[in-house]
């Protein structure tokens, strides 16, 4: 008796259309095109804030430290390659 009920439930599930899952937001195309003029809020957010101006002073030092780190990484890689080649030749 349980088997026909199971089969009928299975058949009804297979026959009925499955509800569409909502699409993920990052996969949907943007609602607003790029040609649309910015609103007042967006313009206000893009304006330069004088209260935050003092925190931008570290930007150049971060770039400088990053460059030094990149140079040191290159030097270490070059030294490792040199050691490998010198060991392979001897």
Residue pair 55/48 in contact (Cβ under 8 Å)? The answer is no
Residue pair 38/46 in contact (Cβ under 8 Å)? The answer is yes
Full-model pTM = 0.38
Structure tokens at 21: 């899952």
Q: Is residue 75 part of a domain?
A: yes
| pLDDT score, position 3 | 65
Q: Is residue 15 part of a domain?
A: no
Domain of 68 in residue numbering reads as: 55-89
pLDDT tens across 10-58, in order?
777 777 666 666 666 666 666 665 667 888 998 988 888 888 777 776 7
From CA 81, how far away is CA 90, in angstroms rounded?
14
How many separate domains does the chain show? 1
Helix (H, G, I), strand (E, B) or coil at 17: coil
| pLDDT score, position 17 | 64
Q: Is residue 84 part of a domain?
A: yes
- Residue length, the chain? 90
Q: Is residue 39 part of a domain?
A: no
């Amino acid at each position: 008796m349980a088997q026909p009920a199971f089969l009928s439930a299975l058949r009804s599930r297979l026959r009925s259309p499955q509800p569409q899952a909502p699409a993920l937001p990052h996969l949907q195309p943007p609602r607003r095109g790029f040609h649309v003029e910015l609103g007042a809020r967006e313009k206000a957010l893009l304006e330069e804030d004088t209260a935050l101006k003092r925190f931008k002073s570290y930007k150049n030092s971060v770039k400088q430290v990053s460059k030094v780190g990149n140079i040191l990484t290159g030097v270490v890689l070059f030294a490792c390659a040199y050691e490998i080649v010198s060991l392979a030749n001897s």
